Structure 1
Amino acid sequence: MYQKILVAVDGSQCAARGLDEAIKLAAAFDAELEIVHIVDPGYEEEGVRARLVAEGKKLLADALASAEARNVRGRVVMVDDIDAPGNIAGQLRRIVERSDAQLVVTGTHGRSGLKSLLMGSVAEEIVRHSAVPVVLVPQRR
């Protein structure tokens, strides 16, 4: 049914739960997993940016190793573009639009009301704008 599943990782527990679910789904459907990490465009200082890129590479390598350990084939994509328009949610939305993934999996903190309005929600942005199904994986409470 699904040949390619996209999941974003950011090092949070919430994203780790999303990755775990995406790996399970990819294994069940014998699908390829596309693992995406976006370096926060809000940090332009060279030393900070270099550290964020290094952390992102390690995060992606670990995520891919987790998938491969469960016999799921995958590939990684890191976005490091301080000149890219929009926030992380907007950048991820554009990646989803360009991808040929048939399913997107993302973790969600489950914020609602004023907290969601003030902090924004990457998951909400993806759900609202995705042309493909989105699986939301809630953070454990």
Structure 2
Amino acid sequence: MYKRILVAVDGSHCSDLALDHAIGLAAICDAELQVVHVIDNGYLKYDMGYVDLTDLRAGLIKGGEELLAEAQEKAKARHVRCQTVMIDEIVALGDIAHQIRQLVESSAAELVVLGTHGRHGMSRLLLGSVAESLVRQCPVPVLLVRAKDET
């Protein structure tokens, strides 16, 4: 059914569940899995005084690389073809949903999988802001994976 599935990961419990679900779907469909992690540069919108952001930025990049390596190993263990993409677009200033939508369009993904809530800011009443935006604007189907303890 699907030949190219994109899954977004951010290290949250929900995104871990989404990754597991996407790997399972890719295995069933014999699809290629594209795992994406977007560096959240939203902190750049705020005046932080004279704080050196070099270490923060390096930590975000290192953490993203580790997430993607772990995701690739999980896919490999299930014999799923997998590629990883890290998006680090400073000028996007934290608009993660837009960056994922751009990748969906350029990669020819046929399905997007992500958790309902990630590691960002204050949680929304129903969906995380990235999930909500993708559901409303993504040009392909979006599968949301909810953690069992969510209501």
Both structures adopt the same fold (TM-score exceeding 0.5):
yes
What corresponds to 2:36 in structure 1? Answer: 36
Distance 1:35 1:139, change over 3 A: same
Task: State the SS of the aligned residue for 2:92.
Answer: coil
TM-score, normalisation: structure 1: 0.89
Aligned partners of 1:120 and 1:61: how far apart in 2?
25
Aligned partners of 2:111 and 2:102: how far apart in 1?
15
Match of 2:70 among 62, 74, 77: 62
* Equivalent residues in 2 for 1:1-141, closer than 5 Å: 1-43=1-43, 45-84=53-92, 87-109=95-117, 116=124, 121-141=129-149
Q: Deviations over 1:63-112 (max 9, x none)?
A: 01000100001000001121236611222222222221111111113xxx
What corresponds to 1:112 in structure 2? Answer: none
Aligned partners of 1:43 and 1:65: how far apart in 2?
30
Deviation at 1:139, TM superposition (A): 1.5
Task: State the SS of the aligned residue for 1:40.
Answer: coil
Structure 1 stretch displaced more, 12-21 or 34-43: 34-43
How many residues matched?
Answer: 137
Contact 2:35/2:71, CA 8 A, preserved across alignment: yes
Task: State the SS of the aligned residue for 1:67.
Answer: helix
Task: State the SS of the aligned residue for 1:140.
Answer: coil
Unpaired stretches in structure 2, ≥5 consecutive residues: 45-52, 118-122
TM-score, normalisation: structure 2: 0.83
Aligned partners of 1:86 and 1:106: how far apart in 2?
17
Amino acid of the structure 2 residue aligned with 1:84: A
Aligned partners of 1:55 and 1:94: how far apart in 2?
22
